[in-house]
Amino acid sequence: MVQAEINIGILGHVDHGKTTLTEKLTGKWTGTHSEEIKRGISIRLGYAEMSVYFCNKCKRYSVKEKCDCGEKAEFKRKISFIDAPGHETLMTTVIAASSIIDGALFLISANEECPQPQTTEHLMVLNSIGIKNIVVVQTKVDLVSKEKAIENYKKIKEFLKGTVAENAPIIPISATYDTNINKLVEAIETTIQVPKRDAHAKLKMFISRSFDVNKPGTEIKNLKGGVIGGSVVQGVLHVGDEIEIKPGITRKENENPSPIVCKVESLREESEQLDEAKPGGLIAVGTAIDPALTKSDSLVGAIIGYKGELPEVVSTIKIKYEMIKRKDIENPPLKDSEILAINLNTATTVGVIVGLAKGIATVKLKKPLVNDKSARVALSRKVGQRWRLAGWGQLV
């Protein structure tokens, strides 16, 4: 069984073709977002896997085992795609998704003015988080004339100047007509390589989903334990490992959460069982814990590690931060008592500023976080009805 080696995020403005392209590449529909778009600051991430093949006869990449020429193509690798919805209120989800991706497809539609609002905002995220492995995809070229497509291409090039995506390849495609999909796969293969992983690093898995997989009415003796989904970002997780999940469960209001300690009963990726899970791909961890603790994504944002190896859990954090210069909205300095949405790894919470001094904000959180000082913290503020990215920082 081959595990996906890498997670690639699919970013871009709403309606620029993320869902359609994901389906084209993976054969799987990730677009179950609409029912889930209920305002809030967190939302499930869609994901799907793609297998990359190479035909040695016609030297072409594809996502099909059998090449169009009839030859059996050579399997290259598996990639896991993470699709975050483009809806503006859900920027915090895009930021959470970016904590588990190693590269990105950045979609820009050929039939709209470049840039659209989330085009700008998503690039801001890639830029700030430092994701350099980017392939820019100019989508829907079938909807415009050749001249318009070239003009739009130049606009895109101009827009990317001075950003992490400045030298990224730009691949014009039409998902509807299957145009240039092979070229896109080739660009992914040459541009988005598997990052160097430290095999000896301490285990760290970020949780992005959690479920109760039992149907209502299941007899107690047949109940399955809680299932946790996410990505290992360093180290290796094995079946049989004893793990700790932090922050864990809050049993009483205003009480500190206690970590969950449990054993890994099973590991799977999509429908396949694994004995161990390395970084890359979204995996599901089967446990024996009470499924009530994992249902409805209740553990999203928590971290899995080996017992005693994860940082402490805190409900007040200090962030050394910098504001983002935004052209599209006003972004004045932070104010005392201001409410912020805080993203740290896959965790999203709301907090209030209780102290500001010399570029350091002290924030009292509604939901405690694992004090992970190696991660970048995103700060969003409410502008009208929307959370807008305001700054970035590091926990101190």
Q: Long-range contact list for 126-129, CB < 8 A, 24+ apart?
A: 126/11, 126/98, 126/163, 126/164, 126/165, 127/163, 127/164, 127/165, 128/324, 128/376, 128/378, 128/389, 128/392, 129/95, 129/98, 129/99, 129/376
- Pick 68 or 272: Cβ nearer Zn ion: 68
Length of the chain: 396
18/209 with CB nearer ligand GDP: 18
Q: Which residues bind Zn ion (CB under 5 A)?
A: 55, 57-58, 67, 69, 71
CB of 36 to ligand GDP, least distance (A): 13
Least distance from C-beta 225 to ligand GDP, angstroms? 34
- Please report whether residue 18 would count as binding ligand GDP according to CB under 6 A: yes
Minimum distance, C-beta of residue 81 to ligand GDP, in the bound complex (Å): 12
Near ligand GDP by CB under 6 A, which window of 17-25, 57-65, 248-256, 286-294?
17-25
Decide: 107 and 152 in contact? Cβ < 8 Å. no
- State the Rg of the chain over Cα: 21
Complex with Zn ion: residue 71 or 158, whichever CB lies closer:
71
Question: Cβ of residue 25: shortest distance to ligand GDP, in angstroms?
Answer: 12
Among 17, 229, 248, 279, binds ligand GDP (CB under 6 A): 17
Q: Round to whole Å and give the CA distance between 75 and 54.
A: 7
Q: Which residue from 7, 118, 119, 174 is in contact with ligand GDP, where contact means CB under 6 A?
A: 174
Residue 212 to residue 294: CA distance in whole angstroms: 6
**Looking up tokens 């050749």, which residue turns up?**
146
Selection from 251, 188, 204 nearest residue 26 by Cα: 188
- Name the minimum Å distance from CB 66 to Zn ion: 9
Maximum CA pair distance of the chain? 66
Q: Do the Cβ atoms of 114 and 152 come closer than 8 Å? A: yes
Q: Does 122 interact with ligand GDP (rule: CB under 6 A)?
A: no
User: Could you tell me which of 47, 59, 41, 44 has the C-alpha nearest to residue 9?
Assistant: 47
CA angle 322–325–331, rounded 5-degree value: 85
Q: Which is nearer to ligand GDP, 83 or 102 (CB)?
A: 83
- Helix axis angle for 146-160 and 117-129, nearest 10°, is 40
Smallest gap from residue 64 Cβ to ligand GDP (A):
19
Binding mask 175-204 for ligand GDP (x = CB under 6 A): xx----------------------------
- C-alpha distances (whole Å) from 322 to each of 333, 354, 358, 380, 392 are 10, 17, 11, 12, 6
CB of 86 to ligand GDP, least distance (A): 5
Q: Which is nearer to Zn ion, 57 or 364 (CB)?
A: 57
The yes or no reply on residue 172 touching ligand GDP (CB under 6 A) is no
| 20 touches ligand GDP (CB under 6 A) | yes
Binding partner selected for residue 175 from ligand GDP, Zn ion, none, CB under the kind-specific 5 to 8 Å limit: ligand GDP
Query: For residues 16 and 360, what is the distance between their CA atoms, to the nearest angstrom?
Result: 37
Window 234-293: residues binding ligand GDP (CB under 6 A): none
Report the C-alpha gap between 27 and 50 in whole angstroms.
8
Strands 46-55 and 60-62 turn out to be antiparallel
Contact in structure between 204 and 305 (CB atoms under 8 Å): yes
Least Å distance, CB 51 to Zn ion, is 16
Out of Zn ion, ligand GDP, none, which partner does residue 199 contact, by CB within 5 to 8 A per kind? none
Q: Which is nearer to ligand GDP, 24 or 204 (CB)?
A: 24
Among 9, 46, 86, 103, which residue sits at the site for ligand GDP (rule: CB under 6 A)? 86
Distance, in Å, from the CA atom of 36 to the CA atom of 42, rounded to the nearest integer, reads 10
Closer residue to ligand GDP, CB minimum distance, 139 or 349: 139
- Site map 133..162 versus ligand GDP, x via CB under 6 A: ------xx-xx-------------------
Binding site for ligand GDP (CB under 6 A): 12, 14-20, 86, 139-140, 142-143, 174-176
